A and B are shown apart, each in its own frame.
Chain A
């Protein structure tokens, strides 16, 4: 069908039905008026003025012709009115972008492609493994609401977390506190959607936070029974960002007490001397890893949409690897640590843990920003994209140069095999993968110990002075030790850290401290290595199966450079812990999270290595 969309009066049967004459360039305004008159103003039709960044660019944004950075029913109205115009039409210049099949004419096929780019789905919705995109599409269509999705997650937490499910050997123990105001927050998000449409990709999405992020509506224990009463007056800065985007904070997740180690043992709300451990949802006889193990287990078992952890020396990436999740350890300085119980601020980061790269990128968008309360964040100025989702290109690996250091692959048979498969997959997607000769000085980078020993007391005291809830009685590490209400097997560790002097701290983490200097040297060394070899990223296995791989976890914290970890497969029979997940980690230059997310997304789309834990399927 060929039509001209020119200015015409319409008459049918000799009777003028409407004599108004409007040029095509005015269609948008005209159609909006019609929509408004019909009471249509929401999701697909809404302009969503509250949005601060294009949503999921470019796919969901590039065909917008009404100026709101997304495709809506208003864009469809414009396209419908223009069906039939051709390259010779006067309107072609302004609407040719809609001609996605490039046949020189706007047709129903072009309208179909346009309609695909509306975030909307009225088909059946399944919560398990649902992405934020799935949730938004279902909520925009009215199939689900934030209240219904939040309730479903609350039901799953109740059914799965503190009970031993069929086929399991022990409970997950992944959640410390459930937010009893979560449904109120969800209802508020639904009201925003009703009035303004989908304002952000996190609107109404339930998020679980490691229990070292301050929250005004739940206590923040840090995993310690000594701080069961730590109700803070403020949210952590990153939580501010999540709430500002309309996310629903549904729960606080378990962690290795004070984010210390990789087993996620905690004492919160336990009798003094008693502790709980977080189990892997894939094999509950094994650990979920740590220190963000509760987030890892909860997100993998679909107890929330997205989680957040913290990473000082691997605490996001280790549980991400064990639980087949995508984890982001951001550049130190990308997201404020203010309001997070610290372990070692020279290395501390907070970041998302999610079931997909898309979810992780959406979550990261919400928490970046300069915060005067965490001065290191000033480094990010001018280095943060409008949205990390714009990097999510399945073809991002094409033309990329990726290096790896042979010694970081290790010798575990399962890890070696999976890493080999991963490099083959990267190459198949068009990346050039090169083995890199370790530069002189790399051993010092990987050999540098964690800052937690010398920095914990100093940094914890800073948190106590500025954030700790007024009702908390133990207000020093000495007080905490005196309560006996902590993971008492760590007593000697806490005693040693309590004895670190200010002089020792300054000699380590002060402006000219040895750790400060080594971390700066590490950043320079690895950045130079990447520059010299024109690398976009370095890769290595995050872990082995339920075990660490050498000192791989130190490369990111000991350089301050960002890392994204993504599932690369499971070990096989005859290998360590058959059926266990192992992640591939991409490390990049400072503030190059976008590049890393693009590479990880391309790898994820090519491999789809994540699997869902069968013990925690849909509720009956």
Chain B
């Protein structure tokens, strides 16, 4: 017995027709990432705000423009672990799919995929948003260290991470009285403003994007399954992964 999905040609045809063509949106400094997945796509990594104080939250975003069919991806976001601490449970990937973000040793590994026969992502999308807590003064560099994009047919394309659009820097200043509190938060003492850095209380997964569930009466589990973004708030999964390259 071979292993093939039951055919659904009329349905797929409709889905394909509905996707249409997405115009290329130029973005200064962005890097073409994948000819196979998104002919005119660009990826960019941003970190905001550009200047923070110790204890503040830095929001890192990886975005893409001009997507035509992005079904799944993995992204490794690297940050200086002496300067920035990933806020467990802070990751957000597009709604309507599965996602996970796990951090370890200066790298947050993001994995996201659409579900089943759902169409791939199109247009402009925020692929992931991550929060970090500033730990000590200095210039923190955040970059996309590795990654790949996969289309609905399963074709994977590595991301060329050499472009400067995939690197950002944050200036961290000052160590004052507030800094001690922030350090404590990073140690797991709790920080309501950042959503909590204690992995055990990392908060519910969040998601965003333009492909939210459209069923008006979707039951809670339907919505939850649709967004099925399992960030390792409890730290269980992220404890099992270690980069070896």
Q: Which residues of A contact B (CB under 8 A)?
A: 1-24, 26-27, 30-31, 33-35, 37-46, 56, 58-60, 62, 73, 76-77, 80-81, 83-84, 107-109, 111-113, 115-124, 126, 129-131, 133-134, 137, 140-145, 147-148, 190, 193-195, 197, 358, 390-395, 605, 608
Contacts and interface: CB of A to CB of B under 8 A. Distances in A.
Which are the 7 A-B pairs with shortest beta-carbon distances? A18-B235, A42-B221, A142-B218, A142-B215, A120-B116, A194-B219, A30-B236
A40 B156 contact: no
Given A44-B225, A142-B226, A39 B204 contact: yes
Contacts of B204: 38-39
Contacts of B243: 1-3, 84
Given A13-B82, A81-B241, A122-B214, A31 B236 contact: yes
A105 B1 CA distance: 25
Contacts of B218: 142, 145
Contact of B4 (A84, A119, A393): A393
Contacts of A121: 11, 15, 115-118
21 contacts: A3-B244, A6-B242, A9-B239, A10-B104, A13-B83, A17-B188, A18-B232, A35-B230, A80-B98, A80-B230, A81-B240, A116-B5, A119-B116, A121-B117, A121-B118, A126-B14, A140-B222, A141-B96, A142-B214, A143-B213, A193-B219
A119 B199 CA distance: 31
B114 A24 contact: no
B228 interface: yes
Interface string B101-125: 0111110010101111111000000
B166 to A, nearest CB: 15
A220 B27 CA distance: 67
B69 to A, nearest CB: 12
A394 to B, nearest CB: 5
Contact of A142 (B18, B213, B242): B213
Given A17-B86, A26-B236, 17 more contacts: A3-B245, A5-B242, A6-B240, A6-B242, A8-B104, A14-B135, A40-B225, A59-B3, A59-B4, A59-B5, A84-B241, A115-B114, A120-B225, A133-B6, A147-B217, A358-B6, A390-B1
Main secondary structure of the interface of A (DSSP, over half): loop
B224 A42 contact: yes
B219 A7 contact: no
Interface residues of B, number: 90
B85 interface: yes
> Most chain-B CB neighbours within 10 Å: which of A12, A45, A116, A123?
A12
B36 interface: no
A392 B236 CA distance: 39
Interface in B10-31: 10-11, 14-15, 18
Nearest to A44: B225
B188 A58 contact: no
Given A8-B239, A76-B98, A147-B217, A16 B187 contact: yes
A395 B7 CA distance: 13
A129 B83 contact: no
Contacts, number: 339
Contacts of B85: 12-13, 15, 17
B222 A37 contact: no
> Most chain-B CB neighbours within 10 Å: which of A17, A58, A109?
A17
> Most chain-A CB neighbours within 10 Å: which of B72, B146, B188, B221?
B221
Nearest to B206: A38
A134 B214 CA distance: 16
A126 B8 CA distance: 12
Contacts of B106: 12-13
A28 B181 CA distance: 36
B237 interface: yes
A126 B10 CA distance: 9
B41 to A, nearest CB: 16
B139 interface: no
A392 B239 contact: no
Interface in B112-159: 113-119, 135, 146, 148, 150, 154, 156
A123 B230 contact: no
B73 A44 contact: no
Contact of A34 (B5, B86, B197, B234): B234
Contacts of A395: 2, 4
Contacts of B233: 34, 37-38
Contacts of B188: 15-17
Interface in B77-106: 81-86, 88, 96, 98, 100, 102-106
A123 B225 contact: no
A592 B186 CA distance: 65
Nearest to B88: A17
A595 to B, nearest CB: 12
B220 A27 contact: no
Nearest to A130: B11
A112 B96 contact: no
> Most chain-A CB neighbours within 10 Å: which of B88, B205, B222?
B222
Contact of B14 (A37, A124, A141): A124
A157 B116 CA distance: 31
B242 A145 contact: no
B76 interface: yes
A322 to B, nearest CB: 21
B74 interface: yes
Given A38-B204, A77-B237, A194 B222 contact: yes
B223 interface: yes
A190 B4 CA distance: 29
B58 to A, nearest CB: 12
B244 A2 contact: yes
Contacts of A46: 221, 225
Contact of A11 (B4, B105, B111, B148): B105
A8 B244 CA distance: 13
Given A77-B100, A108-B74, A42 B240 contact: no
B11 A38 contact: no
B153 to A, nearest CB: 9
Contact of A115 (B86, B113, B135): B113
B228 A112 contact: no
Contacts of A393: 1-2, 4
Contacts of B192: none
Given A18-B234, A34-B233, A605-B7, A142 B115 contact: no
